[in-house]
Amino acid sequence: MKVIVRGKNIEATPALVDYATKKLSKLEKHFDRAADAQVVLSVIREDHIVEVTFNLDGLILRGEESTGDMYASIDMVADKLEKQIGKYKTRMNKSMRQQGLRTISEKHAAKEAEERASEEPTVVKTKRFTLKPMTVEEAIMQMDLLGHDFFVYSDADSDSVNVLYRRKDGNYGLIEPE
């Protein structure tokens, strides 16, 4: 497993890199193929935040934890990811056997300074990604794995771009073009 650790507002010391690599390498037993992990360690005020993104041939797993101690945050995010992997392992294996999945992972945007009321909102970030055809069930799984409230995908049956979103009542909504 390839683990890339970088620091944001903190130096990624060799001890932190070794600890994160050791903790995340234990998750490798759940994967049939090589996985790449990107770890971002950051400190905002007294919060020590760890963000981990696994890339498994286009399937993205994400986890984020924040505590007062960086080592505790690493432990918590590793536990969180292990539970997430266990929960979705059967579904992921079935989906990956049927068809490869590709999506993007939305990284948390840095907090911007408050805009003055007189300024017009502007586009501050643009993302481009390749849409891989998938079923509604696969899109729901991918959206849940990413922890997002919406997901844009190409429908495997109609070959149209659809938007899946999480409703306030906990169910899902689907927007299909005519």
**Which helix (H) or strand (E) is 128 found in, with range?**
none
Mean pLDDT for all residues in the chain: 78
Do 2-87 and 99-105+123-178 show the same overall fold? no
| Model pTM above 0.75 | no
- Class (C level, CATH) for 2-87: alpha beta
pLDDT for position 175: 92
Residue 30 near residue 43, CB atoms below 8 Å: no
Interior angle at CA 88, CA 86 and CA 92, nearest 5: 120
Candidates 63, 59, 69; CA nearest to 134 is: 59
Candidates 140, 142, 135; CA nearest to 58 is: 142
- Summarised one tens digit per residue, pLDDT across range 104-144 is 333 333 334 444 444 566 777 887 877 888 899 988 888 88
pLDDT for position 106: 32
- Class (C level, CATH) for 99-105+123-178: alpha beta
Q: How far apart are CA 22 and CA 19, in angstroms?
A: 5
Residue 48 near residue 68, CB atoms below 8 Å: yes
pLDDT for position 173: 93
Q: Cα torsion at 111, 51, 107, 85 (round to 10°)? A: -150
Helix axes 70-98, 14-25, angle to 10 degrees: 40
Using DSSP's 3-state secondary structure scheme, residue 10 falls into coil
pLDDT for position 120: 64
Residue ranges per structural domain of the chain: 2-87, 99-105+123-178
Q: Is 147 left (phi over 0), alpha (psi -120 to 50) or beta?
A: left
Extract the tokens encoding 19.
Answer: 């600890």
pLDDT for position 45: 85
- Summarised one tens digit per residue, pLDDT across range 140-161 is 888 888 888 888 999 988 889 9
Residue 72 has pLDDT above 60, yes or no: yes
pLDDT for position 118: 46
Query: Quick one: DSSP state of residue 107?
Result: P
pLDDT grade for 76, boundaries at 50, 70 and 90: very high
